[in-house]
Structure 1
Amino acid sequence: MYLGLHVLPVCLLLVSLTTFCLTYILSVTRNDVSPVLPYISDTGTTPYESCFFSFFLNLSAILALCTVYIRYRWLRLVSNEERSLRCCNIIALVLGELSALGLSLVANFQETNLEGVHMTGAAMTIGCGILYMFSQTALSYKMADTLSLSRLRLIMAVFCSLTAASFLIATITAKSLRSSTTDPLHWASTDKGYPAHVTAAVSEWLTCIVYLLFYATFVQDFKRTSVSVSLNIITMEESEGIKV
């Protein structure tokens, strides 16, 4: 049986975006968050939308792990074991796996329950994720991929770096200006720090969407890759394997 691997990054993109849309709709209809530009984590921190948030983001984390590993194996096969490429590929693998692990932490530890663990997971997801984007971009140039694809990956990596920095600065600014007595999940236009909050929320959504789209750039390479699965049964009476 042969499995086409290009479905992995596609499923990662679709599952993640569907999760964000679903939890946004649920949290807004239940009045758990403000309808205008909530943070992604805010839409998945309150039951029952938190159940969907955890389940589907864990699925996304698994898909990300698989995608990162398959990308590593693919590059290893086509790089002819050149030392510099091999080292860069291993670094990219570690960064990608750490990013996926961070996504699982974000999914399982909601910000209103264990904020420290949640924020650590978010930092791993975005921080290691952006470094993963740059490492894959470097590999694209070294592997002499099409120039347009290499440039696209570079643009996406730089864009995510800028939006992530904007998110961090704006979030700190918004929280420092806003009163600690107000509901952190419901922002109003009259709140101090609201413009910074809007900037942070837009930056967060853009960062996550572009980061997920980055994985979609692997689709063409994965279309040329498949996994062959076979099962050999050895019995006491037979010395030959029966292939199923």
Structure 2
Amino acid sequence: MSLWVILPVSLPVFTITGIWVVYVMALYNQHVCPVNNWIYNESCEERLPQQRGPVFCCTLDNIPLISKCGTLAPESCFFSLTCTTGSFMVMLIGLLRYAHVIEKHQNCVLNVASLSTGWICAAGLFILGIFPVDLVKVLHYIGAGVAFPCSMLFVSLQSALTYRLAKTQGQYGVAHLRVGMALLALIALVLSGAFFVQESFVLQHASAIFEWIYCMLIMLFYGTFAFEFRGMSRDTLIILVRGERLQNFSSDSKPKSEFHSISNHHQPEVLTIL
């Protein structure tokens, strides 16, 4: 088994753990209300960090959206670290997956499109991570507007690509798994976006919950690349440099070897005639 399998496994472990740590820190510092809170008010006499008591007064500013959890210090530092590191890992996994498809099969439009959308998603994740929503709202929303749709497009393209390349029963099983995760992620993304623009406090809180579900599903989808990465070799890295399958080079050299074998076969006959 290749050590490259650690990379797709470590991405969901690191990012999911990271965003939950950010949530716990924000909850401890009373920057957001807990996810099990469904009661919100138009306004409060005191801001949430100044409140004391078992029951807190929450407004829309305290809804536990992932971005809201990582807005204020000190959790904002960990949120930026999680997003920037995760974006780099997303780019690396997408690039290695692109080369692995070329190595084991051949390049295609789906493979190129998946690489492009994966890298665009990583760029959006990087932007929303370094620009907090309450401080630089426009850039944060631009990053989110890029990362969320592109991540959905990436998992959809990868699901289709997995079906196209599947040959064994196990590979078809992985394809079924990815399609199921992609469908659940699509439902969570649509519901999160639809509820987010509503004026109802309950629906906006539900939007935050579906956002958490969507992000965890996307990260777990990246973890399924461990099935392909366990068979990865150093030839995959060579393909990244050469840009094509190694078999192409061996096939180009085949006529030359056949020519030498033919010439060596007829050489004794020529000597006999002489």
Is the pair's TM-score, using the shorter chain for normalization, greater than 0.5? yes
Matched, 1:152 2:177: yes
Q: CA deviation at 1:56?
A: 2.1
Give the match for residue 163 of structure 1.
Answer: 188
Q: CA deviation at 1:3?
A: 7.0
Give the match for residue 226 of structure 1.
Answer: 233
Q: What secondary structure does 2:129 align onto?
A: helix
Q: CA deviation at 1:141?
A: 0.9
Matched, 1:123 2:184: no
Give the match for residue 88 of structure 2.
Answer: 62
Give the match for residue 135 of structure 2.
Answer: 113
AA matched with 1:118: H
Matched, 1:172 2:194: no
CA change 1:51–1:154 in 2 (3 A) is same
Q: CA deviation at 1:122?
A: 1.3
AA matched with 1:131: L
Separation of aligned partners in 2, 1:77 and 1:116: 41
Separation of aligned partners in 1, 2:22 and 2:201: 22
Matched, 1:97 2:119: yes
Q: CA deviation at 1:27?
A: 0.6
User: Pairwise CA RMSD of aligned residues?
Assistant: 1.7
Q: Deviations over 1:187-231 (max 9, x none)?
A: xxxxxx2210221011101100000010111102101113489xx
| Percentage identity across paired residues of the two chains | 26
Give the match for residue 260 of structure 2.
Answer: none
Q: CA deviation at 1:117?
A: 1.2
Give the match for residue 33 of structure 1.
Answer: 32
Give the match for residue 101 of structure 2.
Answer: 75
- 2:11–2:89 contact (8 Å) kept in structure 1: yes
AA matched with 2:176: R
Q: What secondary structure does 2:197 align onto?
A: helix
CA change 1:3–1:152 in 2 (3 A) is closer
Gaps of 5+ in 1: 178-192, 230-244
Give the match for residue 87 of structure 1.
Answer: 109
Matched, 1:44 2:70: yes
Give the match for residue 235 of structure 1.
Answer: none
- 2:192–2:206 contact (8 Å) kept in structure 1: yes
Give the match for residue 209 of structure 1.
Answer: 216
Q: What secondary structure does 2:187 align onto?
A: helix
Matched, 1:136 2:161: no
Give the match for residue 20 of structure 1.
Answer: 19
Q: CA deviation at 1:114?
A: 1.2
Gaps of 5+ in 2: 37-63, 238-274
Larger strand proportion of the pair:
1
CA change 1:87–1:14 in 2 (3 A) is same
Q: What secondary structure does 1:31 align onto?
A: coil
Separation of aligned partners in 1, 2:3 and 2:234: 7
Separation of aligned partners in 1, 2:82 and 2:214: 19
Q: CA deviation at 1:80?
A: 3.1
- 2:65–2:208 contact (8 Å) kept in structure 1: yes
Give the match for residue 267 of structure 2.
Answer: none
Structure with higher Rg: it is 2
- 1:95–1:131 contact (8 Å) kept in structure 2: yes
Matched, 1:4 2:3: yes
- Normalised by the length of structure 2, the TM-score is 0.72
Separation of aligned partners in 2, 1:61 and 1:116: 20
Q: CA deviation at 1:153?
A: 0.8
Q: CA deviation at 1:158?
A: 1.4
- 1:163–1:204 contact (8 Å) kept in structure 2: yes
Q: Which runs of structure 1 show a deviation greater than 2 angstroms over 4 or more consecutive aligned residues?
A: 226-229
